[in-house]
Amino acid sequence: MHVDTDDGILRIAFDRPGALNAMTRETAVTLADTIEDAAPEEHHAIVLTGEGDAFSAGGDLQALAEGPASARDAYESVTDSFGRVVEAMLESAVPIVAKVNGDAIGAGLAVVALADIAYAAEDATFSCAFVRVGLIPDTGGTFMLPHIIGLRAAKKLAFTGEFFGAERAADLELVNETVTADELDDRVEETVEQLRNRPTEIVGMMKQAMHENMGRHWSEALDYENLLQVQARTSEAHEEGVSAFLEGRDPEFDL
């Protein structure tokens, strides 16, 4: 996995192009560790992509086949690797942008679903392919897909393992937008620049509130929203935002 920080942007790339960026347990642990280390005091955004022609073909089946034999050990292994990816991505206070440069299959599709914002190249292919190898969706797939694309659509993708293109992924709202491969970098960087000019701490609070409130009764959700809003109102970002508005200038949000 290739990791680089560029002017407050943490860039992560799956780096096994010869294996279509299939993820081993070690890859998942490294991804989780890297995301967990990101902090709104140091980073405006995280960009996640793949080297070569694929985003990620999902779990490396050969490596996984050589894993723990007992059910207990297998549970602990998946929880401590791919399970940690889910936790890290959903709890990160730094917004995550998926740049889907190519095929996103199985766990690769699930990672796209976990990202906060996603853009895909028009020639990318997607599949919730777990059923094709006798598995259920993991890496948060049974949780995030119904939330993002709806229960009925999620069931069809999971039950059939069908392949579909980027245009349908956008129609399902699995990705925000599709662009040509040549335009993908520029489209992602436009969003990164927008995030660079927003208060990351407050963006993190928004993400926290939205995720925590999924499944809550509206009254509990409102109470939690109000709690975080109080924190936001006492932040330096809010003070700067109000000052900039009153002074007729663009706000300058520091990390």
**129-132 long-range CB contacts below 8 Å, 24 or more apart?**
129/58, 129/105, 129/161, 129/163, 130/106, 130/158, 130/161, 131/158, 131/159, 131/160, 131/161, 132/161
- Alpha-carbon gap, residue 94 to 156, rounded angstroms: 32
pLDDT score at 172: 98
Q: What is the DSSP letter of 23?
A: B
DSSP E strand boundaries for the chain:
2-6, 9-14, 45-50, 54-56, 96-100, 103-105, 117-121, 125-127, 163-165, 177-179
Q: Three-class SS of residue 91?
A: helix
Sheet holding 9-14, edge to edge: 2-6, 9-14, 45-50, 96-100, 117-121, 177-179
Distance of CA 129 to the CA centre of its chain: 19
pLDDT digits (tens), the chain, 255 positions? 999 998 899 999 999 999 999 999 999 999 999 999 999 999 999 999 999 999 999 999 887 767 666 778 888 888 899 999 999 999 999 999 999 999 999 999 999 999 999 999 999 999 999 999 888 999 999 999 999 999 999 999 999 999 999 999 999 999 999 999 999 999 999 999 999 999 999 999 999 999 999 888 878 878 887 788 878 778 888 888 888 888 999 888 877
pLDDT score at 16: 96
Tell me the backbone φ, ψ of residue 127, rounded to 5 degrees: -165, 135
Tokens of 52: 């070569």
pLDDT score at 140: 92
pLDDT score at 69: 66
pLDDT score at 229: 81
Distances (CA, A) of 90 to 8, 94, 132, 232: 20, 10, 27, 20
